[in-house]
Chains A and B, each alone.
Chain A
Amino acid sequence: MKTDLTRRHLLGGAAALGLAGLPGRARAAGPLTVGFIYVGPKDDYGYNQAHAVAAKALKGLPGLEVIEEERVPETNAVEKTMESMINLDGAALLFPTSFGYFSPFVVAEAKKNPKVQFRHCGGLWTDKDPKNAGSYFGYIAQGQYLNGIVAGHTSKSKKIGFVAAKPIPQVLNNVNAFLLGAQSVDPSITCQVIFTGEWSLAVKEAEATNALIDGGADVITCHVDSPKVTVETAARRGAFVCGYHVDQSPLAPKTYLTGAEWDWLPIYKSFVADVQAGRVPPNFLRGGLADGFVKMSPYGPAVSDGARRNADAVKTEMMKGGFEIIKGPLKDNTGKEVLAAGKGLPEKAIELESTNYLVAGVKGAV
């Protein structure tokens, strides 16, 4: 009786050991596994889709396995997602794409897993952070400036509108660029901005879009995680619309003018190539139109020839690098001087990381 029990226990133990050995996939050997983590759905017509499109394009590459997880909140859940990708799927390169993932979660996981490379979208990495972590981001305000030029040519009411998530530097740069682009066409143009307070809040985005159009704005753009609601609402009201994050022209085929899009594929390809070749990918990578990190949607049917020529000419300038969107003399919308005459901020200027003003002509408060 006693031996029987012992044998059964032994057998059970052996079975458990066998089971424990089964699921793990071989790490390092074989293809490189790359993990993408998104804060929202992959098909949001916005921020997350921009990344997911690039991830999908990577899937065809040889020697590469791509795993993805969507709707991962910016809590310790993302730590577990990263650990799960590393421990269960053998991921050696991770792209946690949402801004709020970085501190403390990406930093903590990078310290815990020194052999895994972490590259976070948002540009937060500094020298003090682990060397197996890093950041990448794009100068997308360039795209909003070009949006503004086309909007400036198209607007009849000389009022344009911006649906914004939160008054943080990146969003403020986009609002400023949109209006400054439009004012480069006609200095009398003004831009009303409405902050919804959340990155994704469909009801408020629809309300804001309607309020902007009711207030006379006839070209709308936005900076929220998913521009879908804003673009569709504007299209339904017959207003023109400039896109953001990805090409939203299918949502507003008649009134979509153009849009500021991310193109993450070149960045991801270069990171993957680095890791596959045994190199450490760059810790800090930024680029704009010139580097192919940012691109423009094809012009819609409502865009005039003059608008196209103007926007294309400025785009050519931007491709050379160093284009100054924020250029003195410039005042903010409370009358305070931002830049004196003769000064300007090119896209790489560090001052743009801490923008806390809206330029003159923007109606709204930070």
Chain B
Amino acid sequence: MVAETAPSVVTAAATRAAPAIRALAWLARRAEAVAIPLGAVLVGLALFGLFLLTLGKSPAALVDLVWRGGFGSAFAWQNSLQRAAPLLFAGLCVALPARLGLVVIGGEGAIVLGGLAAAVVAPPLSGLPAPLVVAAMALAALLAGAAWIGAVGALKAYRGVDATIASLLMSSIAIALANHLIEGPLRDPASLNKPSTLPVGEANMLGAMPGIGVHWGLSAGLLACLAAWLLVERTTLGFSARIAGGNVRAAQIQGLPVRRLIVGFTALGGACAALAGFFEVVAVQGNANATLAAGYGFTGILVAFLARHNPLAIPPVALALGGLEASSGLIQRRMQLPDATILVLEGLLFLCLLIGETAYGRFKIFSPHLWASRKASAT
């Protein structure tokens, strides 16, 4: 239809307007990825505001407390950053496999096994210099996490087992296995009423980063996010993964090693999650115990989805969620609301974002290819 009426005119107009339109189109495509999650978050917040009003509480007071508890002071920032640190790793465990179209929700298991592996290798190496011991602990954690979530990938790639279900079930197995080992063969006999492994030793503990008061897991997590982004966006491997995630058949026809990509990316995700466990042991607990399963793996799912599986978007999202959780105590104390309040908010946000996913490509303003046809049909 376009071609029939006045092909030359349209082409000429398009060529003349090209630089401006191309810039606008570029902006519009980028804007969509920001505007839709932002809109979803706003809708979620509005719904949560209504929820608060039905409880007779003031949404404004809550916003004020979230600000004060999460970001309003140096202490609040420290609190939020500390909570964000494990979420960076947990988010990557979801975001990396997501590039291949896999929804891995069992990062919790890799965190627990990573922490356990780290704690187990330390005591036998107690005579060695601390950096060596810490490096060995990190390596053990990485291997444990990579093996566990990599196995989920292998089940998917070679046996066609759904990765979502497999990872969730394997996470339960990992936690049960870890609890069994911590309470049985690996238990420190001195840990009477709180079963734990042998301590990794004061000398092998990583202190807080100077000046910030948050442990090193934060900077390691930021580096991991950056590395993951480079891998996904700037390497052929990452490009292959995205192709395979978009269309497995097409990727196979192109000769891409889809199975190996799946195993590799899931293993990498698992290794990231395991680092959260490693830092929990080496910077926080000093041993492995049941509290390794603190739920970071599950919050990580929310982080990754909020970040739309973009590794560079994970840090700000993790910080926002860390801030929310940091402020939940203040909300409990000052507003007399139960702890579940923040969970309701997180749930609403997640729901709105999932619904928001269906909105991509539906707004003309964000879809440059629709602009042209509109103009063309108008002429």
Contacts and interface: CB of A to CB of B under 8 A. Distances in A.
B79 interface: yes
What band does the interface of chain B fall in when counting residues whose beta carbon is under 8 Å from A? 35 or more
Contacts of B79: 80, 83-84
Contacts of A42: 338
B82 interface: yes
Interface of B: 68-69, 72-73, 75, 78-79, 82-83, 176, 179-180, 183, 192-195, 280, 284-286, 289-291, 294-295, 325-326, 329-330, 332-333, 338-340
Contact of B291 (A41, A75, A88, A170): A75
Interface stretch (A66-74, A271-279, A292-300): A66-74
B339 A71 contact: yes
B192 A353 contact: yes
Contacts of B176: 197
A354 interface: yes
Nearest to A20: B73
A69 B284 contact: no
Nearest to B295: A73
B61 to A, nearest CB: 13
A89 B69 CA distance: 12
A287 to B, nearest CB: 18
Interface string A195-230: 001100000000000000000000000000000000
B338 A67 contact: no
B42 to A, nearest CB: 25
B89 to A, nearest CB: 14
A354 B193 CA distance: 8
A99 B195 CA distance: 11
A44 to B, nearest CB: 12
A68 B333 contact: yes
Given A67-B333, A104-B286, A74 B291 contact: yes
Interface residues of A, number: 38
A138 interface: no
Given A75-B284, A170-B193, A89 B291 contact: no
Nearest to A43: B338
A167 interface: yes
A87 B68 CA distance: 12
Contacts of A100: 194, 289-291
Contact of A89 (B183, B326, B333, B340): B333
B194 A84 contact: no
A67 B335 CA distance: 11
A86 to B, nearest CB: 10
22 contacts: A41-B338, A67-B333, A70-B338, A70-B339, A71-B339, A71-B340, A72-B329, A73-B295, A75-B294, A80-B83, A80-B326, A84-B75, A88-B68, A88-B75, A99-B193, A104-B285, A122-B193, A167-B183, A168-B194, A169-B193, A197-B179, A197-B180
